Structure 1
C-alpha cells in the first residue's frame, strides 16, 4: 500500500499544480501552456480512474459483495452529481438576474454538498479530496456562480488552509528516519528519480515528434514521506528555473513577424484587422474606425472580432472560434451579432470572423498577439477600456 501511494504521488502531474505554475511563469496561454494544461487534465482524470479501479480490486480480494456495493455507490454518486446537481446549478444561474450576486443560500448549499461529497469518498475508503474535486468539476465555470465561489473561498483556501497544510507536512519530515530503513529509502529514491526521468523523457520525445523546439492514513512511513516531500521541494525549485531558461514564447513566435503592418501591404490587397472588444458599447466605435478604411470589393476588409473576457471562476483557458450558420453567428453575445450586421451591410466588401478569448487579465494580450500572428493581420484595434 505504501509503495502504491508513492507511485501515485510521483507519477501523476496534478492539473491545479500545473495551472498555478504556468500562471506564475506567465506562460499559461502560450502554446506550451495550453499543451501542458491539456496533458495534466488527462493525467488527473486517469489518476482518478486508476485509483478507483485499484481500490475496487483490493476490496474485491477481501469481499466481492463489498466491492460491488462500492462500485454501485460510486456510479450512483456520479449520476446524481452530473445528472441532478449540475443541472440545478444551471437553474441557479438562469434565475439570477444579470449583474446580481448569487443568493447566499445557494452558496451554502454548494459548500455543504462539497463537505458531504468528501465524507462520501472517505466512506468509500478514499481521501475526501476526490469528492470535493468532483463537486468543483460539476460547478459551471465563470460568472456568476463559479466566480462567486472563487471570490468567497479563494483567500480562505489558499491563504490559510494551504499554508497550514504545507507547514504541517514539512514539520513531519524526519531526516534521521530516512536512514532507519535503508531498503525503503533506496527504493523510494530510485523510484523518484525513475518517475521524474520517465515524465521528462515522455514529454521530450513527444515534443521532438511534434517538432517543438528545444488527511493522515499512515500509509507512508516517516522515511518515505520525508524523501517524497524533499523531492517535491527539489522539483518545485528546479523545474520553474528550467522552464524559464528553455522556453521563451515571445522570441520564437514573433522572430519573423517584424514587417507585418499597413505600410507593407501590397496595393489592392485585403486589409486584415483584429478588432478587440471588452464590452458591447465598444462595437459602435470600432465599426466607425473600420469604415474609415473604405473597403471595396477589390480591396476588402477581413475583420477578426475578438471578445476579451477575464478568466474568473475557472482554471483552464478558453479560446472559441464562433462558427457561422447561414446569416447567423452561433452564440448569444451581442457584439458578435453587431459585427455580423456590419458584415451584411457591407456584403462582398467585409468579412467578419468572431472569436472569444478567456484568459487572465495580465496575460490576455498573448491571445491578441497570437490571433494576429495566426491570421497574418496588419492592424490591431484595442478599445480604451479603463474608466
Structure 2
C-alpha cells in the first residue's frame, strides 16, 4: 500500500480503511489464540514502513481519534477495575510504600550515578532519573493483562496502578522544579555551547515549526538552551 501512494498525490481512503481492517484483524487473531490484542496491533505497526506519504496520512487521520477518544476510554476502563478499597490495614499500605520506593530507587539511583559519572550537572541527573522512572501506557496494559488472566488479584492490581500513577504524577512536578533552561549555569560546573556564527554579537534568529500547541513549551526551552551561558539580550518569540 505504501508503494502505491506516490509523492504529491493524496492517499486513497481505501488504503487507510484497509490498514485499519488489518490492525483489527491482527488484534482479533492474537486475542483468539490467548495473547492480548495489543500485541497483534503492535506487530502490524512494526511492519508498516515508517517513511512515506502513506504513513504520514495514516498517523494524521488516526492520531486525534485514538488519543482523544479511545485512549481516555481505556484509562477509564482501567480506573473502573482498580478497587482502592482492597488496600486495607497497615500491612497493605506498607506494601504500597515499599513497592513505590523499590520502583523508584533502582531507576533513579542508576540513572543519576551514570549521569554524574559522565559529568552531567546534579539537577539534570535527577531530571534524567525521574524521566526514566515515569510509567506509561505499556505498564498499564501489562497490569490489565495480568488482572484479566487472574495473575494479579484486586489488591495487587490496585497497588501497582497506584504506584504507576504516583511515579508519573511526581515526574512532571519534579522536572518543572529542577530543570529550568533559562537559569544561568555555573561556568565552573557545566557550560552550554552556543550555535556558532560569524558575528557572536549578532541577533540569533531561529525559524521552527510545530505540530500542535503542546510542543511549543519544549521548543521554547530548546531555543533558550541553545543561547548558551553568555545571554546578553532577551528572548523574543
TM-score of Structure 1 vs Structure 2, range by shorter chain:
0.5 to 0.7
Note closer, same or farther for the CA distance 1:364–1:194 as it changes in structure 2 (3 Å cut): closer
Paired residues of 1:118 and 1:130 also in contact (CA < 8 A):
yes
Partner residue, 1:130: 39
Paired residues of 2:27 and 2:39 also in contact (CA < 8 A):
yes
Q: CA deviation at 1:238?
A: 0.7
Paired residues of 1:118 and 1:127 also in contact (CA < 8 A):
yes
Whether 2:136 is the aligned partner of 1:226: answer: no
Whether 2:52 is the aligned partner of 1:146: answer: no
**3-state DSSP of counterpart to 2:87:** helix
Note closer, same or farther for the CA distance 1:181–1:130 as it changes in structure 2 (3 Å cut): farther
For 1:1-387, list aligned pairs within 5 A.
89=2, 91-92=3-4, 95-98=5-8, 100-141=9-50, 144-179=53-88, 189-213=97-121, 214=123, 216-251=148-183, 252=185, 262=199
Partner residue, 2:138: none
Unpaired segments ≥5 residues, structure 1: 1-87, 266-273, 278-307, 313-359, 374-387
Please tell me whether Structure 1 or Structure 2 has the larger radius of gyration of its CA atoms.
Answer: 1
CA distance in 1, matches of 2:211, 2:112: 30
CA distance in 2, matches of 1:141, 1:367: 26
Unpaired segments ≥5 residues, structure 2: 124-144, 229-237
CA distance in 2, matches of 1:122, 1:113: 14
TM-score by length of 2: 0.64
Q: Which structure's relative contact order is higher, taking Cα pairs within 8 Å and 6+ residues apart?
A: 1
Q: CA deviation at 1:138?
A: 2.8
Larger strand percent = 1
Note closer, same or farther for the CA distance 1:243–1:362 as it changes in structure 2 (3 Å cut): closer
Q: CA deviation at 1:197?
A: 1.0
Q: Which moved more, 1:247-256 or 1:167-176?
A: 247-256
TM-score by length of 1: 0.42
Give every structure 1 segment of 4 or more consecutive aligned residues whose post-TM-superposition deviation is greater than 4 Å: 180-183, 185-189, 252-261, 274-277, 308-312, 360-373
Note closer, same or farther for the CA distance 1:166–1:110 as it changes in structure 2 (3 Å cut): same
CA distance in 2, matches of 1:196, 1:131: 31
Q: Number of residues paired by the alignment?
A: 197
Partner residue, 2:134: none
CA distance in 1, matches of 2:216, 2:174: 25
Paired residues of 2:30 and 2:36 also in contact (CA < 8 A):
yes
CA distance in 1, matches of 2:103, 2:169: 17
